[in-house]
Structures are given as structure tokens and as C-alpha cells.
Amino acid sequence: MEWREEAGVRWLEADLGGARAAFTTRLGGVSEPPFDRLNLGLLTDDDPAAVRTNRGRVAEALGIPPHRIVFGRQVHAAELAFHAAADSGARSRGSFGTDYVPKEPGDLNDPPEVDGHVVAAPGLAPLVFTADCLPVALAGPGGVAMLHCGWRGLAAGIVARGAEAVGATDAAIGPAIGPCCYEVGPEVPTAFADLGQGIAADGPNSRPGLDISARRHLDLPEVARRLLRRAGVERVELAGLCTSCEAELFFSHRRDAGRTGRQGGLVWIEPEEG
């Protein structure tokens, strides 16, 4: 991956062989603390006008029309949305091109409840919001997929579903909370026991006052990497950055006790030249 910057907006970009992925940071926006500065999440206590400005800045920096950046309501599960490249609903439901703010789940105008998106042709750039969870971009002969991966979604099989949907050969795992900071209960490593050793250990940043004998630190990016390998993905690139440690670069739900912004992970198919 390589760092890119345009008009103050800074992001990590990965080449997926005919497709590209981008992982935004908190740099380059207009939001005030504690959402400073490039918060992309409307479902926070940030000023909606600031969030819309931030979304516009990301779209402009990446050179993607705002209504072509699409997303869903994330519920930490493994469902996928399949988007047509000319999806007319993108203008009114779940895109950077709408001013709609969902009031409650189930609203007819609310984006679909999904944690993954599949696009088979150029035209749309699916996005997932993160603030510690893994953004995972996939590419293959069947198109591209963008996945929001918390531990529950990983355990439910979202990686295998996304990889199968596009015949993934390439993947990029963006910034997320690292094993240094991701302290979990014993049930979480147990959910991935079949992946072998080395995904959980006593971490250096255990929080005071907790019974750490019953808790472990999970290596969420390594879990995703092993699941991608199991799904037959040939090339996997990791950002290797912890959202909790890198406070100047990233929002972190755990570090900031839930009052924080959201960065984004996007993927898109590069249009053919000529």
C-alpha cells in the first residue's frame, strides 16, 4: 500500500490488479473534536453538515462522483448486497449523494442492513465505515467486494462469502485495532480455534482492573488473513496499522469510549482505457 494525499485528504491506497482500494484517515476534514477532522459517519453526534462536507472532500480526492460511493447500515453480520453498476437507488439510499439521515432501522429509505458489498462492473465504489473493525477489500474476475469485519462477522463467514462472490484473487486489509489493544473475552478466540495458534495472546496494553486471566488479545487482521488464505485468495496485503495506537491518524471506538468518528474503506474497478 502507498500513502496518497489530495487537498489535505490523506489515505492509504492498494493496487488489486484492475481494481483499487482506499482507506481514509481522520486527516483533511472540517469536523470539530471529538470527531476531528474527516469523520464520514452521520450516525454519530457530529454536525451533519460537517460530515457531508467531509464526504464530498473524500469523493473529490478520489475522483469518484459522490452518488457512486455506496454503503449500507452495518450490523456486524455476514450479509452481502449485490449492486448493479448503474444502480439508480444509489442516489436516494445509502450513498454519499444523498442528504438522508436514517431515523431508525426499518425506515423504507434506510440503507440495507449489510456488512458487505459486491460490484461486478465499473461504476460504483462500495464503502464500509470503521472505527476499529477491519475494512477488507477483495478483487477477482467476478468484480470487487468491500467488507466490514468485526469478530462476529468474521466468525459468521463474511470473508468466505465475499471471496466466493467475486472469485477473489487479491485482497487488502486496511487499518484496524491491533492485537496490542484488542482485549476480548475468552469466547472470542474460541470462535476461531480452528485457525490454529498465534491469533490470541496476552497483550501489552491490557486495561487495568480487568481479570486478564479470563481475557486475551485477539489479532483481528491475522484472523482475516488466515480466512482469506483458506478461501483461496492468492495475494493479501495488510496495512499493519492499529487504529487505537495511531490517534493522530485514525478514529477508534475502543480508545475513545464510543464517542468518535468513522473512517472509510472503499474499493472500485478501474475503468478500461480507451
pLDDT at 91 over 70: no
Q: Give the model's confidence band at 210: pLDDT under 50 very low, under 70 low, under 90 confident, else very high.
A: very low
Q: How confident is the model at residue 97 (pLDDT cuts 50, 70, 90)?
A: confident
Q: Across residues 236-257, what is the average pLDDT?
A: 97
Cell of 3: 500513502
- What does the alpha-carbon distance between residue 79 and residue 136 come to, in Å, rounded to a whole number? 14
Give the fold, CATH level 3, of 2-178+235-269: CNF1/YfiH-like putative cysteine hydrolases (3.60.140)
Give the pLDDT of residue 57.
97
Residue 111 pLDDT class (50, 70, 90 cuts): confident
pLDDT at 171 over 60: yes
CA atoms of 181 and 217, how far apart (whole Å): 7
The band of 107, judged by pLDDT with boundaries at 50, 70 and 90, is low
C-alpha distances in Å from residue 54, one per residue of 2, 7, 113, 174, 261? 22, 12, 23, 20, 11
Domain ranges of the chain: 2-178+235-269
Task: With a cut of 70, say whether residue 213 has pLDDT above it.
Answer: no
| Size (the chain), residues | 274
Q: In the prediction, which pLDDT does 105 show? A: 57
User: Is residue 163 predicted with pLDDT exceeding 60?
Assistant: yes
What confidence score (pLDDT) does residue 216 get?
85
> Does 26 have pLDDT greater than 60?
yes
pLDDT category of residue 115 using cuts at 50, 70 and 90:
very high
Report whether pLDDT(54) > 70. Answer: yes
Answer whether residue 244 shows pLDDT above 50: yes
> What average pLDDT score do residues 113-132 get?
96
Q: What percentage of the chain has pLDDT greater than the value 70? A: 87
**Quick check: 109 pLDDT over 70?**
no
Question: Collapsing DSSP states into helix, strand and coil, what is residue 154?
Answer: helix
pLDDT over 60 at 92, yes or no: no
Residue with cell 469485519: 149
Mean pLDDT of 88-117: 70
Residues of 206-230 as b/e, b for ≥16 C-beta within 10 angstroms? Answer: eeeeeeeeebbbbbbbbbbbbbbee
Q: How far apart are CA 123 and CA 97, in angstroms?
A: 14
What pLDDT score was predicted for residue 87? 55
Question: Mean pLDDT over all residues of the chain?
Answer: 90
